[in-house]
Amino acid sequence: MLVSASPSLERDPRGLEVERDVIVIGGGVNGVGVLRDATLRGFSVSLFERNDLAFGASGNSSGMIHGGPRYLSYDPDVTYSSCLDSGHIQGVAPHLLFRIPFLMPVFEPAGLKAKATLAAYDGFFTLYDKYQPLKAGKPHARLSVDDVRTLEPGLAPTQGGVSFDEWGIDGARLCVANARDALERGAEVRVHTTVLEVLRREDGSAYGVRYRDRRSGEVGVRTARLIVNATGAWAPLTASLSGLAPEAARLRPGKGIHVFLDRRVTNYAIVAKAIDGRQVFLMPWQNLSVLGTTDDDYYGDLDDVLATGDEVRYLFQAVERVFPSIREARAIGTWGGVRPTLWGWGMNEDRLSREHDILDHGKDGAAGLYSMVGGKLASYRLFSEEMTDVIARKLGRGSPCQSHTLALPGGDEAVDPMRLVLEGGMEAVTATRLEYRHGSRSLRILDRMRRDPREAAVVCACEPVTVAEVRYVIDQELATSVEDVSRRTRLGLGACGGMRCAARCGRIVADATGKSPAQGLAMAMRFLRAAARRRSAAIGATQARAEALALASLRAELGDVADEPDADSRGDEL
């Protein structure tokens, strides 16, 4: 039986009726997940994100919708729920998922121990196979020495191994798809808008937020019946904006970094053991490779998470033992994110629970305020459903959850990339990437090219990204800067590091958002500077010299734009 909403929820302290059912703070995967689920159930929802969608862990994770085999031995519930939801996510966004076959080699010297290890792997993945049907995964295979050599000739000599099956996803695209769907169903999404304060009534209950648009400087108030803190690693900070102690949403944040290499060196994702015994991996990602990941307690600035040289060396050191030629590839970038891991004392980072939890701050005297803590990319939908169930119970209405049955934008219909090639004049790889990122919505981008064939021009050759796609993500997906476009399209993240495309993208963004061409170039400079900072931890001597050469030519092209004050920075301190 539903409990009727308490009357006090309906009005703010001035006696005005509140504007929304729910305010979600945070544009990561859990925030947009709740935004979409609650919107689908008929609630009116506003979302505030202080940076960009997928700015934090959601856009900087390993990008796997995996079943979490590494939790199987000590947290099998996480494995089960992850596998189940991996299947749901495939159903609603089939275009965004890609299969990642993993290979777990055995490196012990030939003998009984190696045989025992292989048997243990075999047994472990036999257990994992039981969960695979939940996510359309293939069963594992036990591989002989020759099998492994044939499949991955670049590996150091092995004593065989096992393969198993996982799914990958572009976390930023997943966030954007959720937000876009909610927008189309009437939700409000405000990016680059920071919440200054969670407003509370005299009785302590929360009724809204005071926010500030970091770009325009506009300050305002939005009121709602319930407020959801879905800010990931920022959760303690957000809780403190309501006047609660940060410990009310206590986490033990763990930093994880990845290194991008300029080429694809394997077809399987290879599991390797790091110096401390942790498992790390070398994973193919389209035409690149990715090394990941670390897990360390993090105490630094959440808005500026950078990989360090030590972390990069840790990964290379581990992967080099299993794939000796790895250093021949060129590192073209790093990314770092901070996991919002549940708090725990007295254990190392890897052992912390990957479960999630919903905190009702009514127990802290702040009724109507909830914090989502913990969780992982793979179980975002389930976590969002649980949160929305709480909302529905509290508000006493709402239709049943549909986030696992209704397709996300682009996921409703398969599009043959060849159609994009033939009708849009794109090259095959451009069409394939476009279809991957946008699914059936790629037809809308194709329409742009039909109206203006010049929009088929490739802006970023590495990825590749067309003018039409850049303009589409500005018009339809809330992108307002080169960095935002890059997050949605991967523009500038390839081998050239944006040297060839950032300025042009800046001009397009400026044109589409009513800024001056000079502001567009300043935006491009900001992107290049940030990309080079991320890259600097991973590059070697030869590459450092080559980059010095690019410098003079870039200055010649952009002139003194580099020195113009940041067009968007308004001395924002919050």
Residues of the shown chain interacting with other proteins in the complex, contacts defined by CB under 8 A: 309, 453-454, 457-458, 467, 499-500, 503-504, 507-508, 511, 516-518, 520-521, 528-529, 531-533, 535-537, 539, 541, 543-545, 547-561
> Which is closer to other proteins, CB of 99 or CB of 533?
533
What letter does residue 499 receive in the DSSP assignment?
T
Task: Answer yes or no: are the C-beta atoms of 217 and 570 closer than 8 Å.
Answer: yes
- Minimum CB separation from other proteins for residue 502, in Å? 9
> Which is closer to other proteins, CB of 363 or CB of 454?
454
- Minimum CB separation from other proteins for residue 66, in Å? 33
Q: Calculate ∠ Cα 393-395-396, nearest 5°.
A: 60
Give me the residues paired with residue 212 across strands: 194, 219
Query: Is residue 514 exposed (0-12), middle (13-18) or buried (19+ Cβ within 10 Å)?
Result: exposed
> Which is closer to other proteins, CB of 230 or CB of 561?
561
* Crossing angle of the two packed helices 428-438 and 467-476, in degrees rounded to 10: 10
Cα separation of 146 and 429, whole Å? 33
- Minimum CB separation from other proteins for residue 435, in Å? 20
> Which is closer to other proteins, CB of 7 or CB of 565?
565
> Which is closer to other proteins, CB of 24 or CB of 468?
468
- Minimum CB separation from other proteins for residue 520, in Å? 8
> Which is closer to other proteins, CB of 11 or CB of 500?
500
> Which is closer to other proteins, CB of 414 or CB of 544?
544
- Minimum CB separation from other proteins for residue 237, in Å? 25
> Which is closer to other proteins, CB of 77 or CB of 310?
310
Q: Which residues are CB-neighbours of 221 under 8 A, at least 6 positions away?
A: 199, 208, 209, 210, 211
Q: Which residues are CB-neighbours of 253 under 8 A, at least 6 positions away?
A: 233, 297, 298, 302, 338, 339, 340, 341
- Minimum CB separation from other proteins for residue 418, in Å? 18
H-state helical runs in 284-408: 309-322, 380-395
Task: Answer yes or no: are the C-beta atoms of 198 and 369 closer than 8 Å.
Answer: yes
- Minimum CB separation from other proteins for residue 371, in Å? 35
- Minimum CB separation from other proteins for residue 360, in Å? 43
> Which is closer to other proteins, CB of 220 or CB of 309?
309
> Which is closer to other proteins, CB of 47 or CB of 509?
509
- Minimum CB separation from other proteins for residue 269, in Å? 28
Query: Is residue 127 exposed (0-12), middle (13-18) or buried (19+ Cβ within 10 Å)?
Result: middle
Query: Is residue 236 exposed (0-12), middle (13-18) or buried (19+ Cβ within 10 Å)?
Result: buried
Residue in this structure with the two tokens 């929305």, named with its chain if needed: 388
Furthest C-alpha separation in the chain: 78
> Which is closer to other proteins, CB of 195 or CB of 508?
508
- Minimum CB separation from other proteins for residue 561, in Å? 7
> Which is closer to other proteins, CB of 390 or CB of 458?
458
Q: How many CB atoms lie within 10 A of CB 367?
A: 22
Cα separation of 221 and 32, whole Å? 20
- Minimum CB separation from other proteins for residue 293, in Å? 21
Q: To which H or E segment does residue 165 belong?
A: strand 161-169
On the CB side of 205, CA atoms within 13 Å amount to 16
Token pair, residue 508, equals 């397009």
SS3 annotation, 392-452 = HHHHCCCCCCCCCCCCCCCCCCCCCHHHHHHHHCCCHHHHHHHHHHHHHHHHHHHHHHHHC
